[in-house]
Every structure is written in C-alpha cells, then in structure tokens.
C-alpha cells in the first residue's frame, strides 16, 4: 500500500508538468507553422483567379480537409484577446486574424482590412458555404466585421467582447448582422 500511495502522489505531482509540456510542444509546432517555418510561399491577392463555382466545386474530401486544416490553425489562436489593429497573439482584430489564418492555412496574402477583404474572391450564397469561406457582417451601421466559416453552423472571428472565438451563424445577432460571403480559390 505504501508503494501505491507513493506512485499516486508522484503521478499527481508530474501530471500537470507533463500536460504543460505537451501544450508547450503543440504551441511551438503551431507557431512554427504559423510563422512560415514550414517553407510555404504566399500568393499575393492580385495573382488569385476568380472561381466559377459549378465547374470548380470542391470535393467532399477536400472540404473536410480544409475544415480540419482550418480548425488546426484556429486552435492556436483561440482565446487571443481583441486589439484594434493588432496582428499577434498579444492582440488581434477581425481582419488581422483572417489575414493570419489565410496566410498560414492556405499561403494566401489577403488585404489588411475587412472592407478590402470583402472585394476579393467570388460571392457565395449562405446556403452554399464551405469551410474557409469569408463571412462579412455589418455591426452598428458603421463597422465592417469578418470571420471564417468552419462548417455546420460555426464560424470563427476576433470579437471585441470575446477575442478569437467560435460563434454560431444561427444566433439572432449574427443572422441580423450578416451581409455577404466570399470564397477564394485554395489549393
């Protein structure tokens, strides 16, 4: 019994350290991917070719892959506080967040502001959304807001109230504020 008691105490003492080490390792891997250490190159927006949706519709496997890739990148950013004009884990705004995710997940450089991002790609109907599509909202008649569709009913955005978080498109607030959706070629 004494040995079991010692082992239990030892595992309790080391479990938080092992968990923190694992979280640290995952954060380092995500950071290296997000900062470009993976060797990818970015594509300027001017080089993007508009999609013709019926001819170039993504296969279901590609859609699932895009959703998994996005969720992996987004996990690194969840909980980051909102900061107007911010572009780092210390603080980021909605368009800066979208710009960072598109750069790291798809090697695509987007413009910096939500208004400019709303001019790239092709318009998409709400009923035809695919993971990675950009969602644009109008808040209080004066502010543009952008997020990224994740699939199902979810989208991710950097909110002044919650920082980087996942929200529901079926929320009355977001349904009322929704303006448009856009799709950029990925691949």
Report which of 48, 152, 146, 43 is spatially closest to residue 97, judged by C-alpha positions.
Answer: 146
157 is catalytic: yes
Q: Of residues 28, 145, 162, 173, which has the active-site annotation?
A: 145
Q: Of residues 28, 37, 157, 173, which has the active-site annotation?
A: 157
Q: Of residues 30, 37, 94, 162, which has the active-site annotation?
A: 94
145 is catalytic: yes
The catalytic site residues sit at 94, 145, 157
């Amino acid at each position: 019994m004494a040995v079991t008691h010692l082992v239990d105490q030892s595992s309790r003492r080391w479990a938080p350290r092992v968990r923190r080490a694992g979280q640290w390792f995952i954060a380092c891997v995500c950071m290296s991917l997000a900062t470009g250490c993976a060797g990818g190159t970015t594509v300027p927006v001017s080089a993007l070719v508009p999609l013709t949706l019926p001819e170039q519709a993504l296969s279901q496997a590609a859609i699932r892959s895009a959703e998994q890739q996005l969720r992996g990148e987004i996990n690194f950013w969840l909980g980051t506080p909102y900061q107007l004009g911010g572009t780092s884990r210390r603080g980021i705004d909605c368009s800066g967040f979208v710009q960072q995710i598109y750069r790291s997940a798809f090697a695509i450089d987007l413009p910096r502001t939500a208004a400019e991002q709303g001019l790239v790609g092709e318009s998409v109907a709400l009923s035809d959304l695919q993971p990675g599509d950009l969602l644009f909202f109008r808040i209080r008649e004066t502010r543009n807001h952008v997020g990224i569709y994740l699939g199902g009913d979810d989208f991710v955005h950097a909110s002044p109230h919650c920082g980087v978080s996942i929200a529901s498109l079926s929320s009355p607030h977001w349904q009322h504020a929704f303006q448009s959706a856009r799709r950029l070629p990925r691949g």
